């Protein structure tokens, strides 16, 4: 009887436990499937434009004592109300673009690697490195490890020659601008280009789209030949290897031409087809823009320098570092937007007396705006 009673007691406990478990299961809310990721929708009621402005004195040094009331912003000639003002230094996110088709650019990047890390990137900054070639690429992702940044720069080598000749600096710069867009806007996002390549001319129009989309200034420095660096002789040149049967050189394919024998538009764009982007932007604006007059440094609000010797190169690098930390950010909501997207021109003027010592200003020149619904 005791054994039978024990079994009965145990059975009751089990039944009671199962009952509580069933009740608890019924009491729990039914699990809903995880929501699918939503496509972000822009529900802006206004357009806020960020205009980074750099003001230099007559000695070419950054002027950092100005206030909001010293600036006036015009949007397509219409005076705007400045709704935000910020002049506090921000950590730097720098895309370093080195023209590795040029031995002088490589030599200066190697020689000044530590200076770039210390004076331009800075202790709280981060940087990435991009190079040209048949396939322009990022060889170092964004990192705050200055040892890795310096090591990458000091180990640069000559890029393989692109089929059309020397590599275009515009292609890796476009990659850099696309990558910079992904970074937080609370940082000073900028690009540093070390190249002899002119900031003007064909290809620069592709960078105009970047200037319209984001407030990312581009700084350009043309390198000198580092002291003691011998003149480079290309072993694959005709003078060195000749043109006979024994030559191992690979002949570059001819550039495609149109019916008039001129190079077709877009030749040299590599694997980046940015023509539809800028073409669409020009179409939206209904304006004709001559690509030969575009200057991606000027349009982005950056500065362009040319070095005469190693000391001058280092001085210009240090100046760029100072400029990155002296950028004013002006914000405004345009009062002249239209229902159709258009390219808008930005003009910044200073309300200062002639004795103020202002020498030059640089700022973002364009953006694409549309009137919110």
Residue 261 lies in a domain: no
For 292, residues 6+ apart whose C-beta sits below 8 A from its C-beta are 200, 201, 202
Give phi and psi for 330, each to the nearest 5.
Answer: -110, 135
Instruction: Look at residue 345 and tell me whether its pLDDT is greater than 80.
Output: yes
Identify the CA nearest to 102 among candidates 222, 206, 6: 222
Tokens of residue 85, six digits: 């003002």
Q: Cα–Cα distance between 169 and 304 in angstroms, integer?
A: 15
Are 297 and 352 in a shared domain? no
Predicted pLDDT of residue 296: 86
183-198 per-residue burial string, b: 16 or more CB within 10 A, e: under 16: beeebbbbbbbbbbbe
Supply the CATH number for residue 126's domain. Answer: 3.40.50.410
The per-residue pLDDT of the chain, averaged, comes to: 76
**Predicted TM-score of the model (pTM):** 0.73
Residue 4 lies in a domain: no
Predicted pLDDT of residue 166: 45
Radius of gyration of the chain (CA): 29
Section 169-175 average pLDDT: 89
Q: Cα–Cα distance between 302 and 260 in angstroms, integer?
A: 37
Are 195 and 136 in a shared domain? yes
Residue 279 lies in a domain: yes
Instruction: Look at residue 79 and tell me whether its pLDDT is greater than 80.
Output: yes
Are 372 and 306 in a shared domain? no
- Min mean pLDDT across 104-118, 142-156, 198-212, 303-317 is at 198-212
- 169 — pLDDT class (breaks 50, 70, 90): confident
- Give ∠ CA 112-115-116 in degrees, rounded to 5: 85
Tokens of residue 92, six digits: 């730097």
pLDDT digits (tens, 9 = 90+) for 103-152: 999 999 999 999 999 999 999 999 999 999 888 999 999 999 999 999 99
Tokens 């809310």 -> residue: 29
Residue 12 lies in a domain: no
Are 122 and 160 in a shared domain? yes
Give phi and psi for 368, each to the nearest 5.
Answer: -105, 125
Residue 360 lies in a domain: yes
Predicted pLDDT of residue 302: 95
Are 156 and 284 in a shared domain? yes
Are 50 and 143 in a shared domain? no
Are 109 and 151 in a shared domain? yes
**Tally of structural domains, the chain:** 2
Taking the C-alpha atoms of 73, 77, 78 and 80 in order, what is their torsion angle to the nearest 10 degrees?
-10
For helices 103-111 and 310-324, give the axis angle rounded to 10 degrees: 70
Name the β-bridge partners of 50: 331
Are 285 and 200 in a shared domain? yes
pLDDT digits (tens, 9 = 90+) for 149-168: 999 999 999 987 655 444 47
Are 58 and 140 in a shared domain? no
- 214 — pLDDT class (breaks 50, 70, 90): confident
Instruction: Look at residue 70 and tell me whether its pLDDT is greater than 60.
Output: yes
Predicted pLDDT of residue 369: 85
Residue 34 lies in a domain: no
Of 27 and 224, the one with more pLDDT: 224
% of the chain at pLDDT higher than 90: 51
β-pairing, 358-363 vs 126-131, is unpaired
* SS3 sequence of the chain: CHHHHHHHHHHHHHHHHHHHHHHHHHHCCCCCCCCCCCCCCCCCCCCCEEEEEEEEECCCCECCCCCHHHEEEEECCEEECEEEEECCCCCEEEEEEECCCCHHHHHHHHHCHHHHHHHHHCCCCEEEEEECCCCCEEEEEEECCHHHHHHHHHCCCCCCCECCECCCCHHHHHHHHHHHCCCCCCCEEEEEEECCCCCECCCHHHHHHHHHHCCCCEEEEECCCCCCCCCCCCCCCHHHHCCCCCCCCCCCCCCCECCCCCECCCCCCCCCCCHHHHHHHHHHHCCCCCHHHCEHHHHHCCCEEECCCHHHHHHHHHHHHHHHCCCEEEEECCCCCCCCCEEEEEEEEECCCHHHCEEEEEECCEEEECCCC
**Among 325, 344, 365, residue at a domain's last position:** 325
Are 315 and 178 in a shared domain? yes
Residue 250 lies in a domain: no
Instruction: Look at residue 51 and tell me whether its pLDDT is greater than 70.
Output: yes
Are 192 and 297 in a shared domain? yes
Residue 251 lies in a domain: no
CB 91 within 8 A of CB 188: yes
Are 118 and 144 in a shared domain? yes
Identify the CA nearest to 73 among candidates 88, 63, 83: 83
Tokens of residue 105, six digits: 């650019």
**Structural domain harbouring 348:** 45-88+328-373
């Amino acid at each position: 009887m005791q054994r039978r009673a024990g079994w009965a007691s145990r059975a009751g406990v089990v039944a009671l436990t199962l009952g509580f478990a069933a009740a608890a299961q019924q009491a729990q809310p039914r699990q809903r499937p995880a929501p699918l990721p939503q496509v972000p929708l822009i529900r802006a009621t206004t357009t806020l434009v960020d205009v980074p402005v750099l003001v230099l004195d007559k000695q070419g040094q950054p002027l950092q004592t100005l206030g909001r009331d010293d600036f006036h912003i015009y949007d397509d000639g219409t005076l705007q109300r400045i709704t935000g003002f910020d002049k506090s230094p921000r950590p730097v996110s720098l895309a370093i673009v080195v023209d590795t088709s040029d031995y002088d650019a490589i030599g200066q990047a190697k020689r000044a690697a530590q200076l770039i890390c210390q004076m331009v990137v800075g202790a709280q900054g981060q940087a990435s490195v991009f190079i040209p070639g048949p396939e322009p690429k990022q060889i170092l992702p964004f990192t705050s490890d200055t040892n890795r940044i310096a090591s990458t720069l000091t180990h640069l080598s000559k890029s393989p020659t692109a089929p059309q000749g020397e590599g275009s600096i515009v292609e890796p710069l476009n990659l850099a601008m696309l990558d910079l867009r992904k970074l937080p806007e609370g940082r000073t996002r900028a690009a540093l280009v070390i190249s002899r390549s002119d900031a003007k001319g064909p290809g620069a129009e592709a960078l105009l789209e970047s200037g319209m989309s984001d407030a990312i200034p581009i700084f350009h420095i043309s390198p000198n030949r580092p002291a003691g660096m011998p003149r480079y002789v290309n072993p694959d040149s005709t003078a060195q290897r000749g043109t006979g049967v024994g030559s191992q050189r690979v002949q570059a394919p001819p550039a495609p031409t149109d019916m008039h024998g001129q190079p077709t538009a877009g030749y040299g764009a590599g694997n980046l087809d940015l023509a539809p982007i800028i073409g669409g932007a020009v179409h939206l604006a209904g304006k004709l823009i001559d690509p030969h007059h575009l200057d991606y440094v000027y349009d982005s609000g950056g500065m362009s320098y040319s070095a005469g010797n190693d000391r001058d190169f280092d001085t210009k690098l240090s100046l760029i570092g100072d400029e990155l930390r002296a950028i004013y950010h002006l914000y405004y909501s345009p009062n002249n937007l239209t229902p159709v997207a258009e390219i808008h021109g930005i003009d910044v003027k200073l309300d200062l007396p002639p004795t103020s010592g202002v020498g030059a200003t640089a700022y973002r020149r364009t953006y694409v705006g549309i009137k919110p619904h």
